[in-house]
Structure formats: structure tokens, C-alpha cells
Structure 1
Amino acid sequence: MRRFSLPRWARYTIYTLGALIAGCAAAHFAQSESKLPAFDAKRIERSSAPAWSVWTRYTTPVFPGQYPATGDPSVIRDGDHLLMAYSCFDPRRKRPETCLATSKDGFAWQFVAQGDDALKGQALRAGSSRWADTHETPFLMKWKGRYWLYVSGYNDRGGGSMNSFPAYLGLAESDDARQFRFVSPEPVMKGTPGWYDSDAIFSASVVEDKGTLYMVYAGHCWHNCKVKPGVYLLGATSTDGRSWRKHDRQLFEGAKMPAFYKQYAGEPEIVKGPDGMFYLFFSALQGDDPHMIGLARGPTPFGPWEFRPEPIVRAAADGPNDAETVAPSVLIEDGRARMWFSGFSKRRMKAIAIYYAEAPWPLKQ
């Protein structure tokens, strides 16, 4: 298990909750309640691009969480309600963990009752996997009658995820969407030495198509790389959700990127639209510049891609997430694309919370 320090510019490309907590005093996040303003449906901003739908984002959070370190949402439709897995903050261990919340409308959320007021809605427990003591960037899906929860995990040696590589991908399951148990004592996917995901696998997202599961994820390589160090969007396929075969190249290889894209892409979300096309939402990681959320679409889950020329969400001019917007989760239902995402202020770093945006379907005219 190696430990090394990332260069300063690289640290600003890693916006997992563990990295953000490590960048501040963890005690700040252990306060009992968030000081963010209440959700206000009248406070909105819009993003337009020729031939693409207009996105409306709300500049106040829909879910601040129990502590002001709440992010990485993954939202699914489960009958008459929505179920969300997200990265939460464990005040006892001062590290990220994975929690659950439910909602009828996607705006008002309640913690899933777990009987632990210190960390409400906790889905995974410390020590529940022998290969990692910290879990974050969850992806939740309901498949074959069970709830599947993919999480990235690592052993936190101080300094959060960016100083605790390697980070692997694990899978936990549940029958009732309450407590999840890992399906194996080992991760379901590890990094390939020297490749794009050599140091870390974060932010998996999975979609099914014609009996095959397609995963997109953010791979990190910073140390002993045979490729250019950085963050890359990668893919893998599976028929059972447990054994994965990696796609042999990065997803944006050879693509003509939009002008706003400057450096890397991370925190992907892949969704199949009613039109049969695949829509890839991603964080555009811009070094010291404010991050934003971009959108591309293609005929397969791995491209080739047509990019929306403008980001769908930027840092808000009005609201507490005035610097960064990352980690989208998207549902297409009722004639609209609904997106939940992480928002925060890099300058003040006072709170990390979950925000909301939406656009009418179809997304491309």
C-alpha cells in the first residue's frame, strides 16, 4: 500500500467527498445542522445551447443532508417514490460513508430510518468490507428484483481519498433497500497497473442494454503511469454485474471536445433515453477553474459522442454553490430529464449539498 502526495493542480481534479473533507478541517462538517438556505423554487438560472433543450437549475439545495458534507447523489425510481444513495459524513470517524434518503417528488427528502441518529440513513458500516474502511461515490440500481449498490472504497490513511490510493470498486446488495451487504470479500473491480485507472476507480454508473450491463466510471492514474497522468472516463461490460471486462480505451479518445472542456472529465452518469440513444452526463474538471457539468449523446454507451456545445450547469451566480457543480445523477421521466448533483463553494468551503436541475425531453431537437 503506497502513499504519495499529488501535485496541487491534480488535487483540484479530485472532487470526491473524501477529498473535499480532507481539504478542510473535518471538525467543520461535524456540526449538527447545515446553515444553507431552504429550497426556493423561485431562485433559478438557465443554460441554453442551439438545438438542445434549455436546462433550468435551482440555486438553493434540495437536500443539504444531516451534516454540511453531502454529495454524489444516485437517484432511482422505486414504485411511487424516489430512492437516493449519496455520500454522507460520519462524524465519529470523520470520513465519508454511504447513506440513503427517499422522496415523493425529488425536492423534499427524508432519511431512510436506520435507528442511528448520529448518522441518519447510513447504508454501509465501517468494517463491512475488509478491503476498504471508507466508501463513497455510490451508484444505486434495482436489477433482477434486488437493490444493487456500487461504491468506491479505500483505506483512509489520512488526507482523504487523494492520499489513500488505491481505490477499488465494490458491490453490495439488499432485498429491502435498508442495510446492504457486500457480495464478496473482494472488490468487483480493481485498477490495472500503469493504465488509466491504476490508482483509483470512482463514480461508477451502469445501464442495461439488450441483456448486457455497461458501466462508465472515472479512472485515476497519477503514479507510475504508462499513460499521461490524469482522470479519464472509462467503460466496462458485464452480464451478471459482478464480473466486469474493461473497455480497451478511454471513452473520449479521438472525440472533438466542446470549447468549455479544458482538462479532464469525471463523475459520469450514463442514461438510455426513450429515443434509444445514450446520454452521458459528466463533470468537466478544470483544474483551478470552476467545474461544470457537460452532456454528450451517442448510439452506444461507449460513444461515439455528440457534445452539447455549452455545459448544462455552471457554478451558480446566485446561491451557495458559487464555485463548483459536479457528480450528476439523472432520471428521464414524465417528459423531462431530472438531474440531482453536488454543489459547493471552493472559496468558502462552508457546505457541500445536493442540488437539482431539469430540462424538457427531448434533450436534442
Structure 2
Amino acid sequence: MTLTAPAPIEGGPAQPGVLTNPVVPGFHPDPSVCRVDGTYYLACSTFEFLPGIPLFRSDDLVTWTPVGHVVTRAEQLDVRDVPTAGGAWAPTIRHHDGRFHVVVTDAMGRGNLLFTADDPAGEWSDGTVVEGIDGIDPDLAWDADGTCYLTYSGLLLGEAAEGGVRHLGIQQVRFDVATGRALEEPRSLWSGTGGIFPEAPHLYEVDGTWYLLVAEGGTERGHAVSIARGPTPEGPFEDCPANPLLTARGTDRPVQNTGHADLFQTPDGGWAMVLLGVRPRGMVRSFSPMGRETFATRLRWEDGWPVVEPVELGPQRPPVRVVDDFDGTGLDLPWVSVRRPATEFSTLTARPGWLVLHGDGSTMDDPRPVFVGRRQQHEVTEVTAVVDASAGVGGLSVRIDEDNHVDLEIDGDVVRARAVLARVAQTWQVPAPAGPVTLRLETVPPAEGFSLRAITCDLVRLSVDTPTGRVDVAEVDGRGMTAETAGSFTGRVVGVYATTGTVAVDRISYQGQDRDR
């Protein structure tokens, strides 16, 4: 069995026969997979980012290619005003009766939604609101007579939880996919082994037995995968004596927070699992700059139970360089914006060969910045942008959320660096050269050895090219821009922004390489 995959940003396949994790690097959490006629399709969460729910396909479990997004229209998700970490949570992708189905939670937005399409690379439906359930992380499964079961985590938020958070465990209803309605009152199922936040349920029939896979322990260091089995989709379920099937808690494994898994069969008849995890770095391995990524591992069956191998990192991949000259009529698939589509504030046609951003007074501190970016997918990166800000203010930024970002902007005759970490801001500035100006943002390893400076995962360096050479503007400790410090469900996204006036971008170059493993 082979489970190798290069990042979608990388060129060229991974070495055949070698398990290359992460499968999809960078901010790609909550993976779900389905197999249709020998082709695999994978979907991930996107929270407040648009377009939402990226889709990847693979014919061999070696190369995963991005094919589009489920959410390409603003009305499909109601994320415009969702709080940070709201929006698209935990999609499940399944194929039944010739159609693809994605069921997902639009948290603090429209609620639970069902999207359908004949072709995953084509246009998806507007999204049917699921009626009759209250919770998150929905899953779809059909039994032999065609009855559909929707299984979900009964996590109540906001008004449903009387203003707080309340958990009812794993719940299930029979479900009508045509109308989006539950056909009965919810029933409680097996909810794990007692870990907090039982979630991400997936239901499978294997050789006449039904298996209920769940995540528990929270999505941080206590994250785990557990399983139970029963004679019907409704149970009763007995838990696996070896639970948790998989966890990295309390270990020195290079991939931590392993959980939120989905099972699938491999081309050779074996089995595997995709799941989320993080790659912590620093002297005490406490900080994960890319946030939650997609990983995979193998499993085998013994005495009717799956036995899962630990998640390991694959061999180091070669360096990557990707350049976008904005010569097309629309942004390529990797580009995302925050809470509103980029078409609201940007154009590629007003100045051919340039991405033109129209500032509206918002900054990177705002929940809806004028910003387009792509995920940081490597530990050591260099991102450059050729920016013409002669008619506005803007530049280059790496963002976790509106409370945690590092910016490098052109404002008249100065180039200003600004680091905002937990809402605390610090600025530096140098004189600006004549434009257009090349701005540079790098993430580099920290000092080695046993020292205070070695604790962090990386350093974020900001510089500007001038006629006499590169001028450093600032260097920022990268630990504030991590999932652990920010408390984020996402990861770093790096791109360009405008605050006022018009800012035009001629070219963005992304270079990335992972550190020695």
C-alpha cells in the first residue's frame, strides 16, 4: 500500500512507495475522503475563509491535485459576520446514487448544510439547511436498503446552550437528503471513552458490521481517535478494548494533535486513515506555525478491530518555488480572502498583468480586510511581492486572524513593519525606495541549543529591496503566529492587502522548504 502525496503547491510527484506526510500541508484541517471508481476525493475545513471547502483528487494516493471548492459563491455560506473560527467546520464528503454529497457545519452562520454536485470540480448546489438537528460535524451513511443516517456531535453553541457551550454527545437521525430534514427525533449513540468534546463521527459498514469512529479529547494535544462497533447503524455499540486507536498525547512523535479521522480503502484492498495533525517546533516543541494539516497513516484489521500505525513524517521534499504574475482573468485556486469574496475589492482586468486591490479603510486588524493570500505550507519560506502603492497604502502580510498578524506596508515615503500579537502592536519603519517596490517576508529557524531564543518555532523577517541592496525592517518572534498561542483553528495565510486607495501587485513569489527531520 502506498500513501504518499506532494503538497498541491509543489511540482513533481513524491518518491513512489514512500509515505510522505503531510498529505496536504498548511492549513487543511478536518479531512474527509471518499472513493469513486478508483478516484479519491478529499475535502477540508476553511472556517471564515473564502472560497470555502477545498477539494483535492488523487488516482493513486501519490499525487493530490486541487480541483476546486465546494463554496464559490458568497451566499452558500453565511460567514460575513461570523466570529473568528466560525464558518465552515468539518465537512464530510460522500458519493451515493451517482451524486457527490458534502455535509458541513456553517458555525454561527447558516447552520448545518448539505451541498450536492454531479461533478466535484463543477458547480455545487446553494446548500440545503439541515432541519431537525442541533450540533456540529455531520456525517452521512446509507444502509443496504437506502436509508440515510446523519450522525453528528451534539455540541450546542450560543442560544441553544443558553449563551455558553453544552454537549449532548454523539447523536443520530434518519435523514431525507432530498429535503434536508431529519425523519425522527435525535437519539444518543456511543460517545467515546470519556474524553472531552466527542466529535467528528463517521459511520461505516465493514463486512456486515457497523463501526462508529469519533474524535475525542479536544483538538489540541489531547486529541485522539476512538472506535466502537455494532450490528446496525443505530447500534448498540461496544467500544474497542484498545481505544484510543490513535493519539500522540504524551509522546515525542513529530506529528501531534492527531485526530478527526476518516477511513477509506486503498487500491490494493487495504485500509488507511486521513486525519488532522500539527508539526510543533522549537526547543520544547510547543508551537505549530502552519496550524492543523492533513496527514495519513495505514491500518490493518485484527479480530474485527482496526489497528492503526502511528503518524510519521515522510522524507524531506525538495524546495518549491511558485510565481504568480496575475496574467489570467481570475485568481488561481490557492488564493483565499477573509469573510468576503476577493471580487468585492480586487480586479485582474483594470490593469492587465497586475492584481489591483481597492482599499476601503479597513486594516489587517479588521475582520474583513482587503486581503488575498495563500496558505503557508512550509517551515522555511520566502515570499516576495512587487507592489505599486503610489495611489494607496498596503503591502504584504502573514495572518492567523485579525488579532495576530505581521504586516509590511508602503505608506508614502516610508516602508512600515507592523506586528500585532494578541492585539498588542509594535511598528518599525525605513525610507521607501521609488516604486514599484519589492517587499519580502521570510520565516526562518530560530537559534539552536538551550536558550530562550530557541524556544520559538521560527522568526518572521521583513525587508525591502532598494537600489543599494536589501534593507531589513524588522524581525518578529514567530510563536505569536501559531495555533497554540493564538488559540486558532486555522494556520498562517500570507498575501497582499490594501488599506486605503489603490494598491497594485505585479508579482508574488513563494519559495518554501521544510527543515531537516
Structure 1 gaps of 5+ residues are: 1-31, 43-57, 113-120, 155-164, 192-196
- Name the residue aligned to 2:33: 75
Is 1:331 aligned to 2:298, yes or no?
no
Superposition misfits of 4+ residues, deviation over 3 angstroms: 38-42, 93-96, 130-134, 222-228, 286-289, 316-320, 332-335
User: Aligned partners of 1:96, 1:358: CA distance in 2, in Å?
Assistant: 31
Structure 1 residue 206, shift from structure 2 partner: 2.6
- Name the residue aligned to 1:86: 44
Q: CA-atom RMSD, angstroms?
A: 3.4
Q: Is the 8 A contact 2:132 2:182 kept in 1?
A: no
Secondary structure, aligned partner of 1:303: coil
- Name the residue aligned to 1:111: 66
- Name the residue aligned to 1:221: 156
User: Aligned partners of 1:284, 1:313: CA distance in 2, in Å?
Assistant: 11
User: Aligned partners of 1:97, 1:151: CA distance in 2, in Å?
Assistant: 11
> Does the C-alpha gap of structure 1 residues 123 and 211 become closer, same or farther in structure 2, counting only changes over 3 Å?
closer
Q: Name the amino acid aligned to 1:330.
A: L
- Name the residue aligned to 2:115: 172
For residue 137 of structure 1, the aligned residue among 79, 87, 90 is 90
- Name the residue aligned to 2:188: 250
Is 1:341 aligned to 2:275, yes or no?
yes
> Does the C-alpha gap of structure 1 residues 76 and 262 become closer, same or farther in structure 2, counting only changes over 3 Å?
closer
Structure with larger RCO (C-alpha < 8 A, sep 6+) = 1
User: Aligned partners of 2:218, 2:190: CA distance in 1, in Å?
Assistant: 16
> Does the C-alpha gap of structure 1 residues 62 and 284 become closer, same or farther in structure 2, counting only changes over 3 Å?
same
Q: Name the amino acid aligned to 2:255.
A: N
Q: Is the 8 A contact 2:88 2:104 kept in 1?
A: yes
**Which sits farther off after the overlay, 121-130 or 102-111?**
121-130
1:177-188 to structure 2, matched below 5 A, reads: 177-182=120-125, 186-188=128-130
Greater share of residues in strand: 2
> Does the C-alpha gap of structure 1 residues 97 and 313 become closer, same or farther in structure 2, counting only changes over 3 Å?
same
User: Aligned partners of 1:234, 1:33: CA distance in 2, in Å?
Assistant: 38
- Name the residue aligned to 2:72: 125
Q: Name the amino acid aligned to 1:299.
A: P
Deviations, residues 249-291 of structure 1 (Å, cap 9, x unaligned):
32127xxx64xx33331011111102x1111111012587511
For residue 205 of structure 1, the aligned residue among 140, 152, 166 is 140
1:169-318 to structure 2, matched below 5 A, reads: 169-182=112-125, 186-189=128-131, 191=133, 197=134, 200-223=135-158, 225=161, 229-230=166-167, 232-241=169-178, 242-252=180-190, 258=193, 261-274=194-207, 276-286=208-218, 290-309=222-241, 310-315=243-248, 317=251
> Does the C-alpha gap of structure 1 residues 306 and 110 become closer, same or farther in structure 2, counting only changes over 3 Å?
same
TM-score, with structure 2 as normaliser: 0.47
Q: Is the 8 A contact 1:204 1:218 kept in 2?
A: no
> Does the C-alpha gap of structure 1 residues 74 and 124 become closer, same or farther in structure 2, counting only changes over 3 Å?
same
Query: Sequence identity, in percent?
Result: 22
User: Aligned partners of 1:291, 1:40: CA distance in 2, in Å?
Assistant: 30
User: Aligned partners of 1:273, 1:311: CA distance in 2, in Å?
Assistant: 19
Structure 1 residue 70, shift from structure 2 partner: 0.3
For residue 102 of structure 2, the aligned residue among 132, 144, 149 is 149
Query: How many pairs align?
Result: 277
Structure 1 residue 180, shift from structure 2 partner: 3.6
> Does the C-alpha gap of structure 1 residues 246 and 124 become closer, same or farther in structure 2, counting only changes over 3 Å?
same
> Does the C-alpha gap of structure 1 residues 96 and 250 become closer, same or farther in structure 2, counting only changes over 3 Å?
farther
Deviations, residues 272-312 of structure 1 (Å, cap 9, x unaligned):
102x1111111012587511111111111122111112212
User: Aligned partners of 2:156, 2:55: CA distance in 1, in Å?
Assistant: 30
Structure 1 residue 167, shift from structure 2 partner: 5.8
Structure 1 residue 338, shift from structure 2 partner: 1.7
Structure 1 residue 235, shift from structure 2 partner: 0.6
Secondary structure, aligned partner of 2:57: strand
Structure 2 gaps of 5+ residues are: 1-7, 81-86, 281-285, 306-517
Secondary structure, aligned partner of 2:228: strand
Secondary structure, aligned partner of 1:122: strand
Q: Name the amino acid aligned to 1:125.
A: T
Structure index of larger Rg: 2
TM-score, with structure 1 as normaliser: 0.65
Q: Name the amino acid aligned to 2:235.
A: G
Q: Is the 8 A contact 1:135 1:151 kept in 2?
A: yes
- Name the residue aligned to 2:502: none
Q: Name the amino acid aligned to 2:237.
A: W
User: Aligned partners of 2:146, 2:21: CA distance in 1, in Å?
Assistant: 39
Q: Is the 8 A contact 2:209 2:230 kept in 1?
A: yes
